[in-house]
Amino acid sequence: MKRKMKKIKTIILCNLLILFTTAFCAFCAEVNKPSLQTQAPSLPPVLQTQDNTYSYSPLGKPDPFRPFVDVESTAAKKGKEGKAESIFPLQRVGVENFNLVGIAGDQIRRVAVVEDSTKKFYPLFVGTRIGLHNGKVTDILADRVTVDELHGKKVKRVILKLRKN
């Protein structure tokens, strides 16, 4: 018990010593600091700030406040039916243009992978939107993916089959 009390007292004394040393050094630094009025003659403030001005040239630099997706250019792009082209790559071409290359998972949760004409791969889950007619992935089976597209008031069912290559 006495050893513990001695340790605590020693720690408290060391902390107090460090605190007083730091405070003393800070006070000495403030006292020894030269004043600004003795170093520089009094000049008008405009003349003092002219040397320290900074100018920025935005030439050749990207604008950090400009959005990555240009809303005006995407709205200007029109599809066959006059609709604006989607910013999502899965909704830029028809469902028939995608090749089903793989299906992974179990009966509860499955993921399908499709490939477009530019050899880019995209994952599909149940509920993913795909195609020009706002198709929705409704079912992923072991060998096929079912996509339902709206054509007016009718629902067109498109099936992407997995090829055994």
The per-residue pLDDT for range 12-53, each reduced to its tens digit, is 988 888 988 888 887 777 666 655 555 555 544 544 445 678
Higher pLDDT, 9 or 27: 9
At position 41, the amino acid (one-letter code) is P
- pLDDT at position 149 is 93
Give, for 17, the enclosing helix (H) or strand (E).
helix 2-32
Residue 83: what residue type? K
Four-residue CA torsion sign, 57, 59, 62, 63? positive
The helix, strand and coil proportions of the chain, stated in percent and rounded to the nearest 5, come to 30, 25, 40
Please, what sign has the CA dihedral across residues 150, 154, 155, 161? Answer: negative
Query: pLDDT (tens digit, 9 = 90+) per residue, 61-120?
Result: 888 888 877 766 555 555 555 566 778 889 999 999 999 999 999 988 999 999 999 999
Residue 86 is predicted with a pLDDT of 78
CA separation for the pair 11, 135 (Å, rounded): 71
